[in-house]
Amino acid sequence: MFSFCSRKLNNMKLFGNLSTFLLPNRNSSLRFSSNATEQPSLTVDYLINRCGLTEESAFKVSQRFNMKSTTKADSVLALLNSYGLTQPYISKIISKDPKVLSADPKKILEPKIEFFSNMGISGPDLGKIFCNDSSLLASVSLENQIVPSIEFLKSFLHDNKNVVVVLSRLRWIKGIQRVMKPNIEILRNEGVPESRILKLIMLAPQLLTWKQPQFNEVVSQAKEMGFDPSSLMFIHAVRTLAQMKKTILEAKWEIFRSFGWSEDEILCMFRKQPQCLTRSEKMLRMRLDFFMNKQSLTAAEVARMPVILLLSMEKRTVPRYSVIQVLLSRGLMKKQSISTALILNEDKFLEKFVRKYQQELPQLLKEYKRNMG
């Protein structure tokens, strides 16, 4: 009995050892998947050759999407192409949501595309909308979500072109109208005109999908800083404050203090041009150093014309200052005109500040062009 059991155990051990070579084990798939990049699968091959994805992107997508047949995917690509979506848009859409390739072209995709097409949206504009949020194509309900939300947006935007702009900036969420309405009411209750609300929807629609307490806090902060809710700058202030954590806002405030600005001067600057604080700390320091340390402008002077903090140093400020300095030194220009000289378009700047003095200061144009180079 003992010898029989012993032989049986030995046979079982032998079979167990052989099984590691002859039979697949649960870890074999891991070994094969680790070598998947060496032999492209049908999915990877299709994503690269038919959808225009890079190898790296195709392999990443294949980790969450697998094709057993290309029939439906071929129909999807044909449908997208027929509505004028070019390959760069198609590649981006599929990279974001490969489930589009397995969606029913007739039942799921075409009704949605046709809906937008009937609004006069086609080709590149369709591509922008679906690239911004590809879930619109495969996952979002046309009747229950897309149609009511678009009708809500159109009640403010009126023009389909405006709808395209907003959709290209808005990440789709369920019940856009349900989420946006309370925040729009907050603005109305604060006295923000409809035209300004429209502006905010156009510039930052995602902001209006915030939770009510968070949105209300930003609106209240803008009011506390002295912005008039009826003004356009109130909308820009709300946008700017929404982009920054309080710690970042304080850090940027501190940069102005380090250049000797008072609280009133900082607030004056911010009320005139809230976007100034959207610039990085490095850029703010560089601009303040140029205007205050190198060009000897005071904090009060910069605060009165804060738009100069938004302009490109290399392409505009430095080249034009080579002209401004000469005109200031000759008494042909006043400091109050600096911001005008910097914000004018190229032709108007040359006409008003260079060609006007061509006779007496022929070197101006040469100096300007040298600094532009």
Quick: pLDDT tens for 55-97. Answer: 999 999 999 899 889 999 999 999 999 999 999 999 999 999 9
99-141: pLDDT as tens digits: 999 999 999 999 999 999 988 888 888 888 888 877 888 888 8
Is 51 in a helix, a strand, or coil?
coil
For residue 134, the Cα-to-chain-centroid distance in whole angstroms is: 15
AA identity, residue 212? Q
Query: Which of 246-281 are b and which e, b meaning 16 or more Cβ less than 10 Å from the residue's Cβ?
Result: eeebeebbebbeebebeeebbebbbbebbbbbeeee
pTM, two decimal places: 0.73
Tell the burial category of 237 from Cβ atoms under 10 Å away from its Cβ (0-12, 13-18, 19+): buried
Residue 194 has pLDDT above 50, yes or no: yes
Query: What's the full length of the chain, in residues?
Result: 373
Local confidence band at 373 (pLDDT 50, 70, 90 cut-offs): low
